[in-house]
Amino acid sequence: MTNDADKLYAMKKKRRHSAPSRFIAPSETVLGEDGTEIATKNAGDYHVPVMLKECCDWLVTDPDGTYIDGTLGGGGHSAEILRRLSPHGHLIAFDEDGEAIARARQRFADDVENPSPRMTLSHTSFSFACSIKRDGKPQAQDITGILLDLGVSSRQLDTGGIGLSYRVNSHLDMRFGSRDKPLASELIATTEQGQLEQILREFGEEPFAKVIARRIVDVRRLAPVMTTFDLRAIVEECVPPHLRQQALSRVFQAFRIAVNRELDVLEETLRGIVPRLQKGARIVVLTYHSLEDRVVKTVFNDLAKRSVPLDPTNPDDAEAAIKSTTKRIEPILNVLLKKPLAPSDEEIRINPRARSAKLRVAEKC
Ligand SMILES: C[S@@+](CC[C@H](N)C(=O)[O-])C[C@H]1O[C@@H](n2cnc3c(N)ncnc32)[C@H](O)[C@@H]1O
């Protein structure tokens, strides 16, 4: 570590230790015209749901319908969806994080434990949403709407448990759920320099990707990179002080995306589930960085197209290829928001973590 980095790190450490262990800010709630909570600030919160009113206004079109919350987290969106459902409505909520599921089991006990439950909890990836069955019947064709609020919850960041935050020292794990993914520390130990650089560039859009990748390889020859603070020290050595905080966020984001194959899982899930949904079903997706948003935009636009490029390896396309290079198909999605929605200034003031959110909505044709 450079002298500058040493000093900065020592200062931050001192500041952290001299602060009270937990600062509880007074709760501040903003309500919409119909009484829906727009944002609540309370430092004790697990996670403040983002664009709550907008998401639920677009998602819940039928109070008797069946909905999927693919990213349960602290259950903020799930609670609002349930509030809008009738006793006949149903919500199936997914999270790979066992703690989110355990907490929801308590929070929503009345709806989950009920003999005719309004809510089902699924401790697995939302990528299984297209294959869920209830009472032995495939569910996807009964789905009225699906919400994905991507990324991580504030609790996952703040507690540092699986090594997602550079602010808390812990093992570099970074896996949501499934144990068959590599740990981030394993990925860092075994990936060759060029690929490390590509991960940082592609999933972090990190300008110092080359230098950081080279430094990781140098450091790991001497000792394994096992903790969040090991990785943080490497980044701090490579990046000037005034750019460090953003670089740290981007580097941690890049490894998290790589470990969990987040962009592939998102694309596969959207492409897999949309054709199976019922007509009129809504797909509502909240993203927090341009890479995720690009995937959602591309998939939505592809599925909304009236013509697709011909595939020369597909015999069904061979005849049409004589006349044109594209064939006409029926679109299966209608993109309802041509441009994504962003949170209001008021919401960002109360919940700064909402600032990069973008909301996209489409409807099954
Ligand atoms: C931004 S939080 C959701 C917050 C939630 N909407 C709320 O109101 O509290 C994202 C959650 O999605 C979960 N998650 C991320 N990828 C997932 C996946 N592929 N399958 C299921 N859950 C996932 C994370 O564990 C995290 O709890």
pTM for this prediction? 0.83
Indicate whether 9 pLDDT > 60. Answer: no
User: In sequence order, what E strands does 223-320 have?
Assistant: 282-287, 307-309
Indicate whether 183 pLDDT > 80. Answer: yes
Measure 164 CA to ligand 1 centroid, in angstroms: 13
Indicate whether 21 pLDDT > 80. Answer: no
Identify which of 148, 111, 214, 205 has the alpha carbon closest to the alpha carbon of residue 358: 148
pLDDT digits (tens, 9 = 90+) for 96-108: 999 999 999 999 9
30-154+282-314+332-364 CATH choice from 3.40.50.150, 3.40.50.300, 3.40.1010.10, 3.10.110.10? 3.40.50.150
Predicted local confidence at residue 15, as pLDDT: 33
Do the Cβ atoms of 257 and 290 come closer than 8 Å? Answer: no
Predicted local confidence at residue 138, as pLDDT: 54
Give the residue range(s) of CATH 1.10.150.170 domains in the chain. 160-262
Measure 318 CA to ligand 1 centroid, in angstroms: 43
- What is the 8-class DSSP label of residue 115? S
Identify which of 82, 84, 96 has the alpha carbon closest to the alpha carbon of residue 150: 96
Who wins on pLDDT, 267 or 33? Answer: 267
Other Cβ atoms within 10 Å of 262 Cβ, number: 19
Index of the ligand 1 atom closest to the CA of residue 46:
9
Helix axes 290-303, 262-273, angle to 10 degrees: 20
Confidence tier at 16 by pLDDT (50, 70, 90): very low
Proportion of the chain above pLDDT 70, given as a percent: 79
Proportion of the chain above pLDDT 90, given as a percent: 68
Edge to edge, the sheet with strand 358-364 lists 119-122, 90-94, 66-69, 143-149, 282-287, 358-364, 333-335
Identify which of 156, 199, 154, 203 has the alpha carbon closest to the alpha carbon of residue 177: 156
What does the mean pLDDT of the chain come to?
85
Predicted local confidence at residue 8, as pLDDT: 40
Identify which of 67, 57, 109, 59 has the alpha carbon closest to the alpha carbon of residue 88: 67
Q: By mean pLDDT, which of 25-39, 116-130, 209-223, 241-255 is the weakest?
A: 25-39
Q: By mean pLDDT, which of 66-80, 91-105, 157-171, 201-215 is the weakest?
A: 157-171
Q: What is the mean pLDDT of residues 185-203?
A: 97
Predicted local confidence at residue 321, as pLDDT: 63
Predicted local confidence at residue 260, as pLDDT: 94
Indicate whether 7 pLDDT > 80. Answer: no
Q: What is the mean pLDDT of residues 202-206?
A: 96
160-262 classified as CATH 1.10.150.170: yes
Confidence tier at 275 by pLDDT (50, 70, 90): confident
Tokens of 75: 């259950």
Residue 149, ligand 1, Cβ within 6 A:
yes
- What is the 8-class DSSP label of residue 241? G
Residue 265, ligand 1, Cβ within 6 A:
yes
Predicted local confidence at residue 235, as pLDDT: 98
Who wins on pLDDT, 7 or 185? Answer: 185
Tell which one of 95, 132, 157 to mutate to probe ligand 1, the residue whose CB is within 8 A of the most ligand atoms: 95
**What sign does the dihedral 179-291-101-283 (CA atoms) show?**
negative
Indicate whether 158 pLDDT > 50. Answer: yes
Give the residue range(s) of CATH 3.40.50.150 domains in the chain. 30-154+282-314+332-364
